[in-house]
Structure 1
């Protein structure tokens, strides 16, 4: 019994440090540091540089932990039931929610997408996020719209993270302007 306590204590400390390192990495990426150095991460997490390398011998592990922290925070917001009952009001609510979630995801997902081609984990998670986006979109649409294949494809593209990223980064719109563009596109596509 006495032998398990130190191991459990070390494991708990390692888990806590792993979490702090992942959260530090997320904070740095949110602050605009696309590829933080081990020194920056260690300083921000309040751990030694060796701890960063010991706990994350590869970037894949760090991205897994970062992704888990991001999903833990944002998935409940993204998948929470919508309050509106009329389908057009539900689309409006979905737009507002996606704008908020995607804005928070923007620096993190942009950073991880830059490494996605090197990581099977990130590729698999990207597919899951893309499917979740489509599923939550089609859930708010009436059957008549869901049965129009091309319209669903246009809506899926319009309200995707990639479209949000383009509006915010390439077109340099503010979050409010980007959300207004989404509303205009919804109006055009849902006539």
Structure 2
């Protein structure tokens, strides 16, 4: 066992064999992590948007994504660090970003969805990557990060 294996085993309070077995089945570990994350965010993602105007629905998306992304932050950040090595993580990341984009597009009028650059900018502004940067690199509190997302979205739709 490597020093890294010993360190992980000690911190996790498990035996080195357990860590070694898990490291040999990282796809299984990724699947478990992903299942935990999906179980936590599925109710938020599945709930229908209730606002009456498209601008209000977009603001509702900001609020909902902030809650989901905050819940996802530890697991998704860890899994994204290994995504390039995992077919499973790559596939699930594509599914998640596709669902997020489709949710955003469904909330917008045709006059906005017809503007490709605006859609790409909104998709980026409402992404997990933007949230992670605001929370981790820029060290903003959740309320501050939400305010920044709202500012970006307003700038893109006004």
Does residue 179 of the first structure (1) align with residue 150 of the second (2)? no
| 1:87 paired residue number | 54
Aligned residues of 2:8 and 2:19 also touching (Cα < 8 A)? no
Does residue 150 of the first structure (1) align with residue 117 of the second (2)? yes
Question: Relative contact order (alpha carbons < 8 A, sep ≥ 6): 1 or 2 greater?
Answer: 2
Measured on the aligned residues, the alpha-carbon RMSD in Å equals 1.9
Structure 2 distance, partners of 1:51, 1:108, is 20
Larger radius of gyration: 1
Q: State TM-score, norm by structure 2.
A: 0.87
| 1:166 paired residue number | 133
Aligned residues of 1:79 and 1:136 also touching (Cα < 8 A)? no
- List alignment gaps of at least 5 residues for structure 1: 1-35
Does residue 132 of the first structure (1) align with residue 99 of the second (2)? yes
Structure 1 distance, partners of 2:123, 2:97, is 9
- List alignment gaps of at least 5 residues for structure 2: 1-6
Structure 1 distance, partners of 2:69, 2:58, is 16
How do 1:90-101 and structure 2 match up within 5 A? 90-101=57-68
How do 1:47-126 and structure 2 match up within 5 A? 50=17, 57-126=24-93
Q: State TM-score, norm by structure 1.
A: 0.73
Q: May I ask how many residue pairs the two structures share in their alignment?
A: 152
